[in-house]
Amino acid sequence: MWWKKLGVALLLVVATSHYVQSQQPAKVLCYYDAANFLIEGLGKVPLADIDTALPFCTHLVYGYAAIDVETNKAVSKQPNLDLDTGKGNYRAVTQLKSKYPSLKVLLGLGGYKFSEPSIKYLTLLESGAARITFINSVYSLLKTYGFDGLDLAWQFPQNKPKKVRGKLGSAWHGFKKVFSGDSVLDEKADEHREEFTALLRELKNAFRSDNYQLGITVLPHVNSSIFIDIPAVINYLDFVNIAAYDQQTPFRNPKEADFAAPLYELTDRVAGNSVDGLVRHWLANNAPASKLIVSIPTFGRGWRLTEESGITGVPPLVADGPSGPGKQLQSEGFYSWAEVCAMLPNPSNTGLKGADGPLRKVGDPTKRFGSYAFRLPDKDGSNGLWVSYEDPDTAGNKAGYVKAKSLGGIAINDLSQDDVRGSCAGEKFPILRAAKYRL
């Protein structure tokens, strides 16, 4: 009879373990790109300015480190800003844990701005010696500066931009690709897939004695089915951040304005290019829901409208490349939430009004696709603008999706593009707050 009692006890232990795991609090990964410190004017966000956000974050990811192509070592992109020989941001950011003891501070490596060619990331994978050099340098940075782990945004080749097509057009394009071969992103993809698995396994082994966390960010337009063996890598990872934004951008899709970060897939769009589509892909490949993080952007993407764009503003619609820069970030086709809010018909805004009049706001009553706003061009064809953006309401909807699916949590990318100063409605970091409250 004793073995029966032992069996029952073991079953209770397993069941309790699964219950405790399912009850783990949701993660809130807050990303901060140190390059924002280098912006001049209102767009500048030094490390001290994100302090108000940190009580809402479980993790702070400080980016971005890079790969030195000559040595295969992980290095700071801004040594004068990050290292002790400069302003010492690496040590300053990890010392935030003394004020927020439950906060985990991770080093972000890679990033999304693609200032580095993906080829050097692939070349590093191909050499076991190069991987060891890279891992040792990462470990040294974490140990030296007191980080709690690594968020790895590996820069695999991006999918080529695709146009919105009807069913007949999609079928014909797929038929042409079979013969044109334009779907081949990497001739050694199978090899790199195995080597990336090896890299993550080796990193996890190197981190184990210090209990460092290891996560990856799957960047937009990186095909996970080509480059990542999900069942093989998932056990080495503490989380997978799915960067489900920038599905359409004015740089990848200059002639076609559309929702940049839809929650669900729209009719006649590229299959899987939505939060739900990307999440379902990982779940279908045996990734535990508890390890999946959904990235919520804090920015909008803008296109220039023309006389050919029509008058409805309903996407997808004809466009003519990125719209003009905003007053804070001074970046074409890219606006922080504070910049978008300043262009909307909201009397509570102060000091950031758009010079060419407010946009017409179109909300998302379905809670499926996101918000957009637009201004039709003048008679001479100027001042036309269409913006797809994230706001506190849509961010809350995505957090609600994460909770309903029992996913691991959310990522806010980037803190510096949220309303850092509360210029829109008087509340700092409204997108972060709204998303946190819905988890």
More confident residue, 18 or 373: 373
Which has the minimum average pLDDT: 89-103, 180-194, 232-246?
Answer: 180-194
State yes or no: pLDDT of 176 exceeds 80. Answer: no
Examine residue 356 and state whether it is found in any structural domain, yes or no: no
Examine residue 424 and state whether it is found in any structural domain, yes or no: yes
Range of the domain at 124: 27-160+187-298+390-438
* Other CB atoms within 10 Å distance of the CB of residue 316: 17
CATH number at residue 428: 3.20.20.80
State yes or no: pLDDT of 181 exceeds 60. Answer: no
The model's confidence at residue 338, banded by pLDDT at 50, 70 and 90, is very high
The model's confidence at residue 161, banded by pLDDT at 50, 70 and 90, is confident
Write down the pLDDT at residue 8. 46
Output the DSSP codes for 95-109.
Answer: GGGGTSTT-EEEEEE
State mean pLDDT over 199-223: 97
State yes or no: pLDDT of 91 exceeds 70. Answer: yes
Structural domains in the chain (count): 1
Examine residue 263 and state whether it is found in any structural domain, yes or no: yes
Examine residue 174 and state whether it is found in any structural domain, yes or no: no
State yes or no: pLDDT of 352 exceeds 50. Answer: no
Span 2-32, pLDDT tens digits: 544 544 444 444 444 444 444 679 999 999 9
Average pLDDT in the chain:
88
Q: Which residues contact 419 (CB under 8 A, 6 or more apart)?
A: 336, 337, 338, 341, 425, 427, 428, 429, 430, 431
Span 244-271, pLDDT tens digits: 999 999 999 999 999 999 999 988 888 7
Examine residue 382 and state whether it is found in any structural domain, yes or no: no
Write down the pLDDT at residue 406. 98
Write down the pLDDT at residue 175. 39
Tokens, residue 84: 């002790």
**pTM metric for this prediction:** 0.90
Write down the pLDDT at residue 11. 45
Phi, psi of 87 (to 5 degrees): -80, -15
State mean pLDDT over 113-130: 83
Examine residue 352 and state whether it is found in any structural domain, yes or no: no
The model's confidence at residue 319, banded by pLDDT at 50, 70 and 90, is very high
Q: Are 142 and 212 in contact (CB under 8 A)?
A: yes
Examine residue 368 and state whether it is found in any structural domain, yes or no: no
Examine residue 165 and state whether it is found in any structural domain, yes or no: no
Q: Are 94 and 102 in contact (CB under 8 A)?
A: no
